[in-house]
Amino acid sequence: MRLAVLGVNHKTACLSLREQVALNTEASHRLVRTLVDCAQVSEAVALSTCNRTEIYLAGTELPLRTVAKDCLCSSTGVCRTDLDDSVYYYENIDAVEHVFSVAGSLDSMVLGEAQILAQLKEAYSVAQEAGTTGPMLNRLLRRSFEVGKRVRSETKISEASLSIASVSVDLARNVFGDLADRPVLVIGAGEMAELVVTHLKGHGVNRILVSNRTYERAVALAEKFGGEAVRFQEEQEESARGQKQIGSHPHNLALAQHLSLADIVISSTGSPDPIIGRSLLEGVMRRRKNRPIFLIDIAVPRDIDPEVNRVSNAYLYDIDDLQEVVASNLGEREREAIRAREIIAEEVGSFEEWARSLTVLPTLVAFREWASAIKDEELTKYLGRMPDLSEEDREKVQALAHSIINKILHPPTMAVKEKAAADEGHLYAEALRTLFQLNGAGRSQGGAAEKDRASSGFGSEDKTNSNSRS
């Protein structure tokens, strides 16, 4: 029994190719059926996510690269030469390691993301429905689910926040702790601001003030956020607004008013000049009686003068600062990935052990068949020479012969089973075949040697990877 993985992912293939080879449930059902119809393939599972399409195969003969590629091309209509440049292919132990890395989200675009495990389970159940899984892939995939769980529970790979929005929430929590009932002020609009607001709402924020240069726009946005619209400037200021400078004027009374109410401020206006300066905020802090305020400036060019961060109890993060935290958190996850790889190596080791214990079984079966053939032969011969024996005595003689055979077979059988997991395990099976001439002799052991040789290569040699591991 041999294992192979063939696929493309976000590292090897561009989006347009990944789109072409993407499989929906029906398509992957059809693909795995087509695959097991091929002579060399006995089991197949197909995984398709937005970042990867992969086929897991167990077969009688390696390599399975061509057959997998052919089936993938014919079922998705992708051009073979396109696929050739981007495809990776692993066998046996490398295949196991790859599947475990995928399950542990080490191969994902976002290290430690949670979705891949569910997607893998989905792919497995589709294949089970199609009836294309067998002992090898059942074991491989079930173990990979365990690996995924272990990696997430034993390491902190999914812990550190990796998006601007979730980092903003982390920081706000570092200042305020519980965010429920913290008033939030959103100045301007934008997708990023919206994301941050959504995250904040997930942490119990329920009072959202929305301010915009035009009040009508603020009303529209407030509806979207589920907040209340407030005026950016006093009405007379607004009507007197000659130029954009008024925004940065320290006496924007309405803005100062909102700032003294809100604990968290998200600013993303299109203003070319800062709208919140140091002196404005110092006035605000006096009105706030120095209660802390957390300001997120996601506008480019910036809305808030960086000097604001020097004001006591005011905490300002601009887009670069947030980006830096994301980078540091990514490093955090990468450090955890080192521990995750240790878990994977351990699991690959025990899978290999299991696979190896499979390899000696045909030899042991042949060994037993050989012995009982001799027993039967001799019993027929000698019982034929003793016609006077009663039925009872015949049975006793048969039992005696059976018992002797069993006692003799027991130690070598146990020894071979025990050694099977070790590196040189297959040598014991080979020795057994040589010593007892199990190759080809006798009735039913014909295929045993061949099967052994085919599977004893598991995990040891012939690495025919087309792509270096990434």
Partner 1 sequence: MQEIEQTLFGLVTFVYLVVVVLYVLGLAYRRADLERFGFLTLTAGFALHTVALIILWISTGWPPLADLHQSMVFLSWSIVLIYLIVDRVYRIPASALIMIPVAFFTVGMGQVLYEGDRALPEELDSGWLVVHVGVSLLAYAAFALAFATAFFYVVQEDLLKRRYRQVRQLVLTLAGALGLGTGLYVGYLIADPTLFEDAAGNRVYAYSGADVTVILVGAAIGLAAALAVGWIAARGASRPSFANRLPALNLLDNLSSKSVVAGLALLAVGILTGAIGAHQQWGAFWRWEPKETWALAAWLFYAGYVALREFANWRGRNTAVLAIAGLFIVFFAFLGVNLFLPGRHDFN
Residues 84, 159, 342, 450: which binds partner 1 (CB under 8 A)? 159
Which member of 14, 38, 50, 71 is catalytic?
50
Q: Is 79 a catalytic residue?
A: no
Residues 174, 214, 350, 434: which binds partner 1 (CB under 8 A)? 174
DSSP state of 131: T
Residues 113, 170, 353, 369: which binds partner 1 (CB under 8 A)? 170
DSSP 89-125: EEEHHHHHHHHHHHHTTSSSSSTT-SHHHHHHHHHHH
Q: Which stretch binds partner 1 (CB under 8 A): 120-128, 175-183, 270-278, 414-422?
A: 175-183
Residues 122, 238, 307, 321: which binds partner 1 (CB under 8 A)? 321
Site for partner 1 in 212-241 (CB under 8 A): none
Cβ neighbors of 68 (< 8 A, separation 6 or more) are 4, 6, 35, 55, 57, 89
Per-residue mark of binding to partner 1, 92-121 (x: CB under 8 A): ------------------------------
Are the C-beta atoms of residues 105 and 148 closer than 8 Å to each other? yes
Interface with partner 1 (CB under 8 A), residue total 27
d(CA 103, CA 145): 6
What is the three-class DSSP state of 177?
coil
Assess 323 for contact with partner 1 (CB under 8 A): no
Assess 158 for contact with partner 1 (CB under 8 A): no
Are the C-beta atoms of residues 103 and 49 closer than 8 Å to each other? no
| Among the listed residues 206, 224, 222, 463, the one whose alpha carbon sits nearest the alpha carbon of residue 232 | 222
Site for partner 1 in 281-310 (CB under 8 A): 286, 289-292, 309
Q: Which stretch binds partner 1 (CB under 8 A): 52-60, 172-180, 244-252, 339-347?
A: 172-180
Measured from the CB atom, is 122 or 321 closer to partner 1?
321
Min dist CB 81 to partner 1, Å, is 46
Q: How many C-beta atoms surround the C-beta of residue 410 within 10 A? A: 10
Residues 24, 115, 313, 434: which binds partner 1 (CB under 8 A)? 313
Min dist CB 246 to partner 1, Å, is 30
Residues 176, 232, 370, 428: which binds partner 1 (CB under 8 A)? 176
Min dist CB 186 to partner 1, Å, is 21
Site for partner 1 in 114-153 (CB under 8 A): none
Q: Which stretch binds partner 1 (CB under 8 A): 217-225, 268-276, 320-328, 428-436?
A: 320-328
Q: How many C-beta atoms surround the C-beta of residue 348 within 10 A? A: 21
Secondary structure percentages of the chain, helix, strand, coil, to 5: 60, 15, 30
Measured from the CB atom, is 156 or 201 closer to partner 1?
156
Which residue matches tokens 């929005």? Answer: 165
Are the C-beta atoms of residues 21 and 88 closer than 8 Å to each other? no
Measured from the CB atom, is 178 or 392 closer to partner 1?
178
**Beta pairing class for 314-318 and 228-231:** unpaired
Residue 319 φ/ψ, nearest 5 degrees: -60, -35
188's tokens: 């301007």
Q: Could you tell me the sign of the dihedral formed by the alpha carbons of 283, 284, 290, 295, in that order?
A: negative
Measured from the CB atom, is 297 or 332 closer to partner 1?
332
Residues annotated as catalytic are 50
In the complex, the residues that contact partner 1 under the rule CB under 8 A are 156, 159-160, 167, 170-171, 173-178, 286, 289-292, 309, 312-313, 315, 321, 324-325, 328-329, 332
